[in-house]
């Protein structure tokens, strides 16, 4: 049974006024709110366990280790990784993508090619540009059409023996477009030996993820967009690939032996987890996975898709609304502008006065904004706790903004 009021009651933060109005939180693609079960798990760690992991003989250290490793196994199941040691704790998608692009440095040489898409977040662009600077490799970018849909015939023409990395997002954060990653992965496998990287920042919160079925080499996501604390994230990598690549950060935890004559590295996952991890956050990420599974991923997806369909329909009933990617296959996000009226941030400020939190601007995807020749959009993004009447409030707010700004 999907009971929205019961779900909302688990998110104390939603029960407040902002600028004198009940909060309508529609900025979930930036970060989601956290249910009480996640917050109490985090608090309980600091109140009752707080100790460093993997090193201590004492009881609290062992408890902390057990809980963090239990969380790793929950995440392993959540994404259907073959082994728990293929699940690396990071501080988010950005760190995961930087890690991958760094450890691949030795594998690329001048004139090799890295394929990304126009729909990428800056964190799936800049690390690859840096890798190109280090190696002389070249970046190729899959273009989009007027609906924001990737032009796969151009992608086909990019694939060659020079292709060493294909890195694309599963869902675009700016437009909510669901990319055909199954097709992209199949084509890449058929035609190249490239490493396949999937940015799952906007898909892990919404979809059932099966990295084995997907057959990607790496899949990265952020905990804070899926009901877990900030500063948490996951990098999944296939065992044989991670084992064959060098470490990222050096330090404690990631060594097998260390001397001035040289250092040998720990096995997975510790080779990629140098230093003290975010133990409380990582344990709370496991609680977020529990929350998602309790609600049910199918229920979440169904509810969010219904919200999206409703929001799009209601917004389009107004005159002068331009929705980007209107006809594309999307999830969880509606990105729009009021035609000929003001700029996105003006609309966002008016909505804020009404207690409605949306994101405005380029959403860390400047190339998409350049493509549409705009500075930014107003983005409303949904989570499991959003209600249809909140969409009505959004649409009322947009109407008001239209009046005030014209």
User: Among all residues, which ones are annotated catalytic?
Assistant: 364
Judged by CB, which is closer to ligand PLP: 94, or 402?
94
Residue 379 contacts ligand PLP per CB under 6 A? no
Judged by CB, which is closer to ligand PLP: 266, or 364?
364
Residue 179 contacts ligand PLP per CB under 6 A? no
Pinpoint the alpha helices (H) of 206-296: 211-214, 239-243, 279-295
Cα separations (Å) of 384 from 2, 343, 362, 387? 10, 29, 24, 8
Indicate the DSSP class of residue 1: -
DSSP 3-state helix, strand, coil percentages of the chain (rounded to 5)? Answer: 45, 20, 35
Give which of 273, 280, 234, 283 is closest to 252, Cα–Cα.
Answer: 273
Q: How far is the CB of 312 from ligand PLP (least distance, A)?
A: 20
Q: Is 323 helix (H, G, I), strand (E, B) or coil?
A: strand
Residue 335 contacts ligand PLP per CB under 6 A? no
Residues 373, 350 contacting (CB under 8 angstroms): no
Indicate the DSSP class of residue 379: E
Stretch of 18-26, 91-99, 155-163, 183-191 contacting ligand PLP, by CB under 6 A: 91-99
Measure the CA–CA gap between 268 and 97, rounded to whole angstroms: 18
Q: How far is the CB of 153 from ligand PLP (least distance, A)?
A: 24
Quote the tokens at residue 100.
């991958």
Measured at the CA of 357, the angle between CA 356 and CA 359, to 5 degrees, comes to 135
State residue 335 phi and psi, 5-degree precision: -120, 120
Query: How many residues comprise the chain?
Result: 406
Residues 6+ apart with CB under 8 A from 269: 72, 84, 85, 86, 87, 88, 89
CA 398 and chain centroid, separation: 27
Stretch of 10-18, 199-207, 309-317, 395-403 contacting ligand PLP, by CB under 6 A: 199-207
Judged by CB, which is closer to ligand PLP: 169, or 386?
169
Q: Of 169, 278, 331, 386, which lies in the binding site for ligand PLP, with binding defined by CB under 6 A? A: 169
Q: Of 192, 222, 278, 331, which lies in the binding site for ligand PLP, with binding defined by CB under 6 A? A: 222
Measure the CA–CA gap between 301 and 324, rounded to whole angstroms: 21
Residue 331 contacts ligand PLP per CB under 6 A? no
Q: Of 92, 229, 280, 361, which lies in the binding site for ligand PLP, with binding defined by CB under 6 A? A: 92
CA 78 and chain centroid, separation: 15
Residue 173 contacts ligand PLP per CB under 6 A? yes
Q: How far is the CB of 364 from ligand PLP (least distance, A)?
A: 6
Residue 94 contacts ligand PLP per CB under 6 A? yes
Q: 223: buried, middle or exposed (CB in 10 Å: 19+, 13-18, 0-12)?
A: buried
Q: Of 199, 217, 326, 390, which lies in the binding site for ligand PLP, with binding defined by CB under 6 A? A: 199
Applying CB under 6 A, the site for ligand PLP has a residue count of: 12
Judged by CB, which is closer to ligand PLP: 229, or 397?
229
Q: Of 202, 331, 335, 360, which lies in the binding site for ligand PLP, with binding defined by CB under 6 A? A: 202
Determine how many CB atoms are found less than 10 A away from the CB of residue 91.
17
Q: How far is the CB of 184 from ligand PLP (least distance, A)?
A: 15
Judged by CB, which is closer to ligand PLP: 135, or 222?
222
Stretch of 48-56, 89-97, 129-137, 350-358 contacting ligand PLP, by CB under 6 A: 89-97
Residue 98 contacts ligand PLP per CB under 6 A? no
Judged by CB, which is closer to ligand PLP: 218, or 350?
218
Quote the tokens at residue 189.
């496998």
Measure the CA–CA gap between 195 and 389, rounded to whole angstroms: 44
Q: Is 193 helix (H, G, I), strand (E, B) or coil?
A: coil
Q: Of 41, 71, 93, 232, which lies in the binding site for ligand PLP, with binding defined by CB under 6 A? A: 93
Q: How far is the CB of 220 from ligand PLP (least distance, A)?
A: 8
Q: How far is the CB of 225 from ligand PLP (least distance, A)?
A: 6
Interaction mask 104-143, ligand PLP, x per CB under 6 A:
-----------------x-xx-------------------
Measure the CA–CA gap between 359 and 399, rounded to whole angstroms: 17
Residue whose tokens read 């196994």: 73
Name the residues that contact ligand PLP, by CB under 6 A.
92-94, 121, 123-124, 169, 173, 199, 201-202, 222
């Amino acid at each position: 049974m999907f009971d929205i009021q019961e779900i909302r009651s688990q998110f104390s933060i939603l029960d407040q006024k902002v600028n004198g109005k009940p909060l309508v939180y529609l900025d979930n693609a930036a970060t989601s709110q956290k249910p009480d079960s996640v917050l109490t798990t985090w608090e309980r760690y600091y109140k009752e366990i707080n100790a460093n992991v993997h090193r201590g003989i004492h009881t609290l250290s062992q408890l902390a280790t057990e809980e963090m490793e239990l969380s790793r196994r929950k995440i392993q199941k959540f994404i259907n990784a073959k082994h728990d040691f293929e699940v690396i704790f990071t501080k988010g998608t950005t760190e995961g993508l930087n890690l991958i692009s760094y450890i691949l440095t030795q594998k690329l040489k001048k004139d090799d090619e890295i394929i990304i898409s126009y729909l990428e977040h800056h964190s799936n662009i800049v690390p690859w540009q840096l890798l190109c600077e280090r190696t002389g490799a070249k970046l190729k970018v899959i273009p989009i059409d007027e609906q924001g849909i990737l032009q796969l015939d151009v992608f086909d023409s990019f694939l060659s023996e020079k292709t060493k990395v294909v890195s694309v997002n599963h869902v675009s954060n700016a437009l909510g477009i669901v990319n055909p990653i199954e097709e992209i992965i199949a084509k890449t496998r058929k035609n190249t030996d490239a490493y396949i990287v999937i940015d799952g920042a906007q898909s892990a919160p919404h979809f059932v993820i099966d990295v084995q079925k997907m057959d990607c080499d790496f899949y990265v996501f952020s905990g804070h967009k899926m009901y877990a604390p900030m500063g948490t994230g996951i990098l999944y990598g296939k065992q044989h690939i991670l084992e064959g690549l060098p470490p990222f950060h050096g330090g404690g935890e990631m060594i097998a032996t260390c001397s001035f004559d040289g250092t040998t590295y720990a096995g997975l996952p510790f080779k990629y987890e140098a230093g003290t991890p975010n133990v409380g956050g990582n344990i709370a990420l496991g609680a977020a996975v529990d929350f998602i599974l309790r609600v049910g991923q199918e229920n979440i997806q169904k509810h969010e898709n219904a919200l999206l369909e409703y929001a799009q329909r209601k917004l389009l009933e107004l005159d002068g609304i331009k929705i980007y990617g209107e006809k594309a296959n999307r999830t969880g996000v509606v990105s729009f502008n009021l035609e000929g009226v003001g700029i996105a941030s003006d609309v966002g400020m008016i909505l804020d006065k009404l207690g409605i939190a949306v994101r405005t601007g380029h959403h860390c995807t400047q190339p998409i904004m350049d493509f549409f020749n705009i500075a930014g959009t107003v983005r409303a993004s949904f989570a499991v706790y959003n209600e249809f009447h909140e969409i009505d409030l959004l649409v009322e707010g947009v109407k008001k903004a239209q009046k005030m700004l014209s």
